[in-house]
Copies of this chain bind each other. A is one copy, B any other.
């Protein structure tokens, strides 16, 4: 069903111009909605476009506009692999233990882990909803190794994308540094652990943890404990600090802590440990919903009723909070809105070579359900 095309390839502006009896420039103006085109001619051109089945060639357009209308959506992690400034010793380890394929084991488990948390899906939702009406497309990239990070930088330097939206899963992530060093546009989800002059959106984690603490206290809990996130992740640390500080101010000097890794399983392990060491606890704050879900499972297995015997508060208000039995009382993080703001910061930045870094902090909110 290919239309009458003179040459073999797809129709070009030239073809449309010929069909419409005007110049390439006029066709271009109509297509890009530039003013100063006679309405009658506009109509003729539109006809010619649909007759020829013309679609503008993106590469040609990008070449002259210097925009890709794409952004890299990067999920970044501190290297499991060896780190180094430029990556000298990274090469050393890479020889050992690798399977036949370059990215097999490591890449697989990293991406799997990323998607296991409902959090990332919400980020994508927020980003896509913002980008779509603006005609910008997200290119999915994972930067969990030194090499993968270099590829992200190279990709941006080639002009394949107009900037990067980076979701860092660990502190000590070198990517933000690499990006700013290379003078590339980027916005982070969450403040970088090492101070880097780069824009980001984040949540007032301590305030969120405070809400959880106050709710548990108001409920009458007196023997509290917490399952923290990884302490090398700023968010994990901030939630712990906020929880502890609030309780300390209310006279609870010592709070048992078990460190988790934001996975359901780590939440189970942590809960087991807390229960062994403090069998009489009556309230738990888990630093995310996945760990809270794991905690609920373990509590029930040990004959504790939630919330009657032990109250549980989660964090995030992800889909896991609703899926849990009982549904989790949790601290809501407006991930979609934060992700949209991240995209906005990237796209709306002034055209200059490097605009000043901006940060936007969102406030959490307590959502009361059945678990506490």
Residue ranges of A at the interface with B (Cβ–Cβ < 8 Å): 1-2, 10, 55-60, 62-63, 68, 70, 73, 101-104, 107-108, 111-112, 114-116, 118, 120-122, 124-125, 128-129, 132-133, 137-142, 148, 151, 154-155, 157-160, 181, 183, 264-265, 293, 297, 301, 319, 323, 325, 336
Contact = CB atoms under 8 A, between A and B. Distances in A.
Contacts of A141: 137
A293 B264 CA distance: 15
Contacts of A129: 101, 103-104, 107-108, 111
A133 B103 CA distance: 8
Contact of A160 (B112, B114, B137, B158): B137
B137 A137 contact: no
Given A56-B158, A57-B158, A116 B108 contact: no
This protein's copies in its complex: 2
Nearest to A9: B66
A124 B140 contact: yes
B115 A116 contact: no
Contacts of A63: 57, 59-60, 63
Nearest to A322: B265
Contact of A133 (B101, B125, B264, B325): B101
A264 B140 CA distance: 27
A98 to B, nearest CB: 12
Contact of A118 (B62, B116, B148, B160): B116
19 contacts: A1-B183, A57-B158, A58-B59, A59-B63, A60-B63, A63-B63, A101-B133, A102-B133, A103-B129, A112-B122, A115-B118, A115-B124, A128-B140, A132-B151, A137-B140, A137-B141, A138-B140, A265-B323, A297-B325
A261 B155 CA distance: 39
Contacts of A128: 107, 111, 140, 142
